[in-house]
C-alpha cells in the first residue's frame, strides 16, 4: 500500500457549532421546568415508568417523527428534533390533580411548562431555538401501576448552526454568498 495522498481529507468540511447531545437537551429542559414547578413535582429528563410523586413530568424523544427533515435549513442535516413533555397526576384526589394539571397548562400561572421553556429558548446555548406546541387535552395513561390523568406538549428543537465552516471559502456563515 502506498503513502497517503497529500490532499487526502480535503473533501471533509469542518462543521460549525453542533447540536448538543440529546441527553444535554433533555437535562436542560428538565432543569428549566423543575426551576418553576419546585420540588413537590418530580421532573425526569427521561420517560418515567414509575412516578415517585403524585404529580410527575417526564421528557423523552417524540413519536415516530422524532426528526423533522422538512424544517431543515441550508446545511442542516437533521431539521428539528421533536420531544414529548408529559405531565401526569395520580387519580387519588381527582379535583386536586386536575388543578395541578391546569396550573401546568396555564400560561398565566407560575408553574406553566410552556413559559418555563420559553424563558430561555436556547436552553443555555444548547440549541438554536425551541417551539412548544400544545398542551393536549386530558389523556388517560395506563403505563404504570394505577391509572393516571395527564397532558402532553410537543417541543420542537432546532439545532445550532450546522452550516459547515468554510463552506463559502471562509469561516463565515454566508458572507460572500452573492459575491459581496
Is residue 138 pLDDT above 70, yes or no? yes
Domain assignment present for residue 163? The answer is: no
Q: How many domains, in total, are found in the chain?
A: 1
Q: For residue 101, which of 132, 130, 136 has the smallest C-alpha distance?
A: 136
Q: Looking at residues 69-93, what average pLDDT do you find? A: 75
pLDDT grade for 162, boundaries at 50, 70 and 90? very low
Q: Which is higher by pLDDT, 92 or 177?
A: 92
Domain membership of residue 58 (yes or no) is yes
Q: Is residue 170 part of a domain?
A: no
Residue 21 has pLDDT above 70, yes or no: yes
pTM equals: 0.74
Mean pLDDT, rounded, for 70-96: 77
Q: Is the pLDDT confidence value at 59 over 90?
A: yes
Q: Residue 103 is part of which domain span?
A: 22-158
Does 37 have pLDDT greater than 50?
A: yes
pLDDT band at 165 (very low <50, low <70, confident <90, very high): very low
CA distance 15 to 126: 16
What distance in Å separates the CA atoms of residue 162 and residue 19, rounded to the nearest whole number? Answer: 8
Residue 63 lies in a domain: yes
Residue 122 lies in a domain: yes
Looking at residue 117, which CATH number applies to its domain? Answer: 3.30.70
Burial of 125 (0-12, 13-18, 19+ CB in 10 A): exposed
17 within domain boundaries: no
Amino acid at each position: 500500500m502506498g503513502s497517503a495522498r497529500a490532499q487526502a481529507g480535503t473533501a471533509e468540511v469542518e462543521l460549525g457549532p453542533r447540536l448538543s447531545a440529546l441527553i444535554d437537551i433533555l437535562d436542560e429542559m428538565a432543569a428549566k421546568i423543575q426551576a418553576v414547578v419546585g420540588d413537590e413535582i418530580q421532573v425526569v429528563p427521561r420517560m418515567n415508568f414509575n412516578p415517585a410523586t403524585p404529580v410527575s413530568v417526564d421528557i423523552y424523544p417524540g413519536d415516530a417523527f422524532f426528526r423533522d427533515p422538512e424544517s431543515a435549513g441550508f446545511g442542516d442535516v437533521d431539521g428539528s428534533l421533536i420531544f414529548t413533555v408529559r405531565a401526569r397526576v395520580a387519580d387519588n384526589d381527582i379535583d386536586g390533580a386536575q388543578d395541578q394539571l391546569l396550573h401546568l397548562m396555564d400560561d398565566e400561572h407560575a408553574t406553566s411548562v410552556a413559559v418555563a421553556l420559553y424563558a430561555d429558548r436556547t436552553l443555555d446555548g444548547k440549541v438554536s431555538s425551541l417551539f412548544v406546541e400544545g398542551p393536549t387535552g386530558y389523556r388517560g395513561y395506563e403505563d404504570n401501576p394505577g391509572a393516571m390523568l395527564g397532558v402532553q406538549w410537543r417541543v420542537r428543537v432546532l439545532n445550532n448552526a450546522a452550516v459547515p465552516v468554510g463552506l463559502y471559502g471562509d469561516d463565515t456563515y454566508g458572507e460572500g454568498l452573492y459575491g459581496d
